[in-house]
Amino acid sequence: MARSKCPVCGSEKFHVKNPDDQYDIYEFECRDGEVCFEEDLADEECPQIDENTETFCNTCAWHDKFDKLK
């Protein structure tokens, strides 16, 4: 199973911010190009992530568009 890694530190854990509340985050890993959220979220609760979604590394200060992980 191929996992996306942070281009700076190599971490495999990322998050995106809730567009309505920047302090609310959704953690995920990217396995075989598919976003896998850490929490048990219902499908309707999961944020939509596309190639332009601002994505943050959970380990270091890296952040960029989601497509930089692929």
pLDDT of residue 70: 64
pLDDT of residue 1: 61
The dihedral over CA atoms of 50, 8, 23, 41, expressed in degrees to the nearest 10, equals: 50
Coil, strand or helix at 45:
helix
pLDDT of residue 41: 74
- Residue 57: name the closest of 27, 26, 14 by CA: 14
Where do the structural domains in the chain lie, given as residue ranges? 14-69
Residue 44, number of CB atoms within 10 A of its CB: 5
**How much is the pTM?**
0.86
